Structure 1
Amino acid sequence: MKRLFTLVILLTTLTAFAKPPKNQYVRISTSYGDCIIRLYNETPKHRDNFIKLAKKGFYNGTLFHRVIQNFMIQGGDPDSRDTSKNKPGAELGNGDVGYTVPAEFNDSLYHKRGVLAAARDDNPAKASSGCQFYIVEGKRLTDEDLDKLVQGRLKGRAIPAAQREVYKTVGGTPFLDQNYTVYGEVVTGIEMVDRIAGVKKDERDRPLQNVPMTVTVLSKGECKDLDKILSPPTP
Structure 2
Amino acid sequence: MKPNHLKKSVFLLLFGITGLACSTERDHLVTIETRHGNMYAILYDQTPAHKANFLKLAEEGRFDSTEFHRVINEFMIQGGDVFGLENLPEEEWYTLPAEIHPNLIHEKGSLAAARQGDNINPERRSSGCQFYIVQGKVYDELTLNTDMKKLQEAFMRFLQLESNKPLREKYVSHYQNGEFDSLNALMLSKKVELEQFLNVNLDNEKRPNQLQAYTSVGGTPHLDDGYTVFGKVIKGLDVLDKIASEPTDRMDKPANPVVMKVKVSEINRRKITEEYGYEYPDAK
Q: TM-score, normalised by structure 1?
A: 0.79
Distance 1:109 1:16, change over 3 A: closer
Distance 1:95 1:211, change over 3 A: farther
Whichever residue aligns with residue 145 of structure 2, its letter is: D
Distance 1:224 1:183, change over 3 A: same
2: distance between equivalents of 1:16 and 1:57?
Answer: 31
The answer for the alignment partner of 1:198 in structure 2 is 245
The answer for the alignment partner of 1:226 in structure 2 is 272
Q: Identity rate of aligned residues, in percent? A: 39
The answer for the alignment partner of 1:54 in structure 2 is 58
Secondary structure of 2:111's match? strand
CA offsets 1:14-70 (integer angstroms, 9 cap, x no match) = x7499541x322000000110100101111111111001000001000000000000
Distance 1:218 1:81, change over 3 A: same
User: Does the 8 Å contact 1:78/1:96 carry over to 2?
Assistant: no
1:189: how far off? Answer: 0.5
Q: Does 1:45 align with 2:49?
A: yes
CA offsets 1:71-91 (integer angstroms, 9 cap, x no match) = 000001126647xx9xxxxxx
The answer for the alignment partner of 1:185 in structure 2 is 232
1:206: how far off? Answer: 0.3
Q: Does 1:116 align with 2:116?
A: no
2: distance between equivalents of 1:59 and 1:26?
Answer: 12
Distance 1:227 1:210, change over 3 A: same
User: Does the 8 Å contact 2:210/2:221 carry over to 1?
Assistant: no
Unmatched tracts of structure 2, length 5 or more: 1-12, 152-201
Distance 1:174 1:138, change over 3 A: same
1:217: how far off? Answer: 0.5
The answer for the alignment partner of 1:3 in structure 2 is none
The answer for the alignment partner of 1:137 in structure 2 is 135
Moved over 3 A (4+): 15-20, 79-82, 94-97, 149-153, 155-158, 227-234
- Greater helix share, structure number: 2
1: distance between equivalents of 2:205 and 2:70?
Answer: 30
Distance 1:97 1:24, change over 3 A: farther
Distance 1:174 1:186, change over 3 A: same
Largest Rg, 1 or 2 = 2
Q: Does 1:67 align with 2:76?
A: no
1:225: how far off? Answer: 1.8
Unmatched tracts of structure 1, length 5 or more: 1-7, 86-93
Equivalent of residue 78 in structure 1, options 60, 79, 82: 82
Q: TM-score, normalised by structure 2?
A: 0.66
The answer to which of 44-53 and 225-234 deviates more is 225-234
Whichever residue aligns with residue 68 of structure 1, its letter is: I
The answer for the alignment partner of 1:126 in structure 2 is 124
2: distance between equivalents of 1:202 and 1:96?
Answer: 29
Whichever residue aligns with residue 96 of structure 2, its letter is: V
The answer for the alignment partner of 1:34 in structure 2 is 38
User: Does the 8 Å contact 2:81/2:130 carry over to 1?
Assistant: yes
2: distance between equivalents of 1:67 and 1:18?
Answer: 39
2: distance between equivalents of 1:187 and 1:162?
Answer: 18
